[in-house]
Structure 1
């Protein structure tokens, strides 16, 4: 199972890296429009800051913040031995993000504890792929699988992927937390499961 996940992840990440920058920008603009339609003014949205070849861009979060949506983004921490911990959260302010581990962009302190995820009205999760059952293929470290149990059960879990990354089947393990929706540039919001 782990080998199948690794092989699929490697193939899809290579395809992302090969995407022309203009195509990436067009997909990011489409995702920003779709995401803006999902959040209501005054909502709390726990999302992530797309980096590198990840679908989307920080612009999609900035548009929400300008509307009065409380946007929280993750802060990645590990045990001293490198074991991933549940994500902490910080307020998204576009001009205050700093470079962090794993090539991520994070907000400055003060940070909020993992339990803050229970305040979210919408949770937007990075993914390398997601299948029609809601099974998500992430980067493999397990930060989100450790964090998502803090959410309220009825809150949408939206995996952001490119259109070609919405697959029929993704290898899954018992600890994988299923998504309720996928968000793609061309298809918009797709119900899963």
Structure 2
């Protein structure tokens, strides 16, 4: 039986998912431009040549414009591929077709490099449903990114991508939840010092 934190997370995810579905096409397009601008500035500020990102779904803040632009500038971008065992494989972003992975998520069609490929990135950009002001991230409940971040030998800075309305004062947190170093919205990028227990 799920604990209080997990029940709170489920209810919050449902509300956030519904709010995202209500966004208009114009709001999504405006957010996509802002996200690309903010992510490009973040990569430049960290002066990195290798990042991991994700291919956004229809309701997520759009990361695809950023991925295309980063690849065109010669930045190596790794994209996740979900596996049935709860781990992520990674593939290099290029012009290959996008396929539908587990859970209907968009994934790169390139060659899977294995879970350890992400150990070489200098910056991680990950999805989230919400973030709180101390770096607690609420994901969508499958734990892929928490497992990945928690098992990395050398953890780079990790930033979550969300809409402006998804920055909350506090979120329920469980032991396995991995904090982030900051978040990116269509209008701002905030670096925080995540709480560690």
**Shared fold per TM-score greater than 0.5:** yes
Name 1:152's counterpart in structure 2: 154
Name 1:68's counterpart in structure 2: 74
Equivalent residue of 2:19, what SS?
helix
1:51 touches 1:103 (CA, 8 Å); kept in 2? Answer: no
Displacement of 1:15? 0.3
More divergent stretch after superposition (2-11 vs 49-58): 49-58
CA separation of 1:18 and 1:45: change in aligned 2, threshold 3 A: same
Q: Could you tell me the TM-score, scaled by structure 2's length? A: 0.89
Could you list the runs of 5+ residues in structure 1 that have no partner in the other structure? none
Name 2:33's counterpart in structure 1: 29
Name 1:182's counterpart in structure 2: 183
Distance 1:138 1:26 in 2: 23
Displacement of 1:57? 3.5
Alignment of 1:36-185 (within 5 A): 36-40=40-44, 43-79=49-85, 84=86, 86-148=87-149, 149-150=151-152, 152-153=154-155, 155-185=156-186
Q: CA RMSD in A?
A: 1.5
- Deviation beyond 3 Å, 4+ runs, structure 1: none
2:17 matched to 1:13?
A: yes
Equivalent residue of 1:39, what SS?
helix
Could you list the runs of 5+ residues in structure 2 that have no partner in the other structure? none
CA separation of 1:44 and 1:11: change in aligned 2, threshold 3 A: same
Name 1:2's counterpart in structure 2: 6
Equivalent residue of 2:184, what SS?
strand
Distance 1:9 1:99 in 2: 22
Displacement of 1:187? 2.2
Distance 2:175 2:80 in 1: 24
Distance 1:183 1:59 in 2: 15
Displacement of 1:42? 6.2
Distance 2:99 2:70 in 1: 20
Aligned residues: 187
Q: Could you tell me the TM-score, scaled by structure 1's length? A: 0.91
1:65 touches 1:71 (CA, 8 Å); kept in 2? Answer: yes
CA separation of 1:65 and 1:109: change in aligned 2, threshold 3 A: closer
CA deviation vs aligned residue, 1:81-112 (integer Å, no higher than 9, x gap): xxx2x211001124421122212111224211
More divergent stretch after superposition (69-78 vs 104-113): 104-113
